[in-house]
Structure 1
Amino acid sequence: MRKKLSQIQLILMDVDGVLTAGEIIYSAAGDELKMFNVQDGMGITLARMAGLKTGILTGRKSELVRRRAEELKIDIVSQGSFEKLPEYEKIKQQMQLSDEQICYIGDDVLDIPVLKRVGFSVAVANARDEVKAIADYVTVAEGGKGAVREVIDKILKWQNKLHALIDQLSR
């Protein structure tokens, strides 16, 4: 695992079930609501501060996702990609990275083709069993409840960057 984590330069994530708990709430007016975890957001910020790139690869389209990605300065935002592998290949080419340099965090069967391809594949704790079976790592935390932060902390620790970032922030 150390070798895999030391090579990661891009952390790609699904949204529903990974950055959120997987619940979509519609108001009576038809507005869509999502809840994002602030510790996951801080993890994404730490990844950026450490020089890592971050990205979203999701099958659904949502203005809320675009807004959250903008707020966190996420580098890649790909929405509406029901078939994720072709979009993953475009992202990989655009970022000029190899599979080994990419981590992907998923939770459902649409994520499996990408999880099979990347250098470090992650299933959140509440992922489907089929996803967990092929993942390099299964988080302790559930999607939308700190799973992304858990993965980012693990990568930053193995790359010897986490403690320097914490020191920098605590000055």
Structure 2
Amino acid sequence: MAIAPVTATERASRVKLMIFDVDGVLTDGGLLFTAEGDTMKGFHSMDGHGMKLLRQAGIDTAIITGRKSGIVAVRAKEMNVTHVYQGVQDKPAAFADLLQQTGLTAEECGYMGDDWVDLAVMLKVGFAAAPANSHPEVIARAHWVSEARGGHGAAREVVDTLLRAQHKYEALLAAACSGEQRGLVG
């Protein structure tokens, strides 16, 4: 008898740590430069609120990004992201360090990426996600793909998917409706 493949929902139900790339995932991938050479990025507030919901649900968060930016450090702090790896040239090495720091297995982790540099980690984790506008090779290898584009709520979609898969969504929604979620600005 054939065994059915593991579904994206089953994979999402096991995630204890969700990792995000930045450019093309938490942002739209566009880079704006000032005359002084500083980079500016735009983030979606619902993605930020989603990160806080993950933490509230007991799911840890991390960022692994190839660029180094003060803006990312500030945004990560606002979103209460626990683990931030910036300026990473070797994402699998950063992932291995993250596993060592947390004591988790790769199967207990999720990763959302959008381009080839993310594939090595995406192929290791238990739950690989991609924004709708990711490179086709990334979409082909993801367990789950958002309807939203990177920087336009894709991260929030994956957060909602994780919360539903772990049966935590309704309780968090009820708390929001009753006013119990104060101070969770995205």
Please confirm whether the aligned pair reaches a TM-score higher than 0.5, indicating the same fold.
Answer: yes
CA distance in 1, matches of 2:41, 2:137: 25
| Identity, % of aligned positions | 42
Offset, 1:4: 1.0
CA distance in 1, matches of 2:10, 2:29: 31
| 1:86 aligned onto 2:97 | no
Offset, 1:2: 2.8
| 1:168 aligned onto 2:175 | yes
| 1:139 aligned onto 2:146 | yes
In structure 2, what residue type is equivalent to 1:120?
F
Deviation per CA, 1:28-72, whole angstroms, max 9, x where unpaired?
232211100001011101111101100100011000000000111
Deviation per CA, 1:86-136, whole angstroms, max 9, x where unpaired?
110110111110111100000010000000000000111111111111111
- In the alignment, which residue of structure 2 is the partner of 1:36? 43
- In the alignment, which residue of structure 2 is the partner of 1:67? 74
- Structure 1 residue runs without a partner (length 5+): none
In structure 2, what residue type is equivalent to 1:35?
G
CA distance in 2, matches of 1:136, 1:4: 8
Offset, 1:3: 2.1
Secondary structure at the aligned position of 1:169 is classed as helix
- In the alignment, which residue of structure 1 is the partner of 2:107? 100
Secondary structure at the aligned position of 1:93 is classed as helix
- In the alignment, which residue of structure 2 is the partner of 1:56? 63
| 1:155 aligned onto 2:158 | no
- TM-score w.r.t. the length of structure 2 is 0.90
CA distance in 2, matches of 1:124, 1:73: 22
CA distance in 2, matches of 1:136, 1:52: 19
Secondary structure at the aligned position of 2:123 is classed as helix
- TM-score w.r.t. the length of structure 1 is 0.97
Offset, 1:139: 1.1
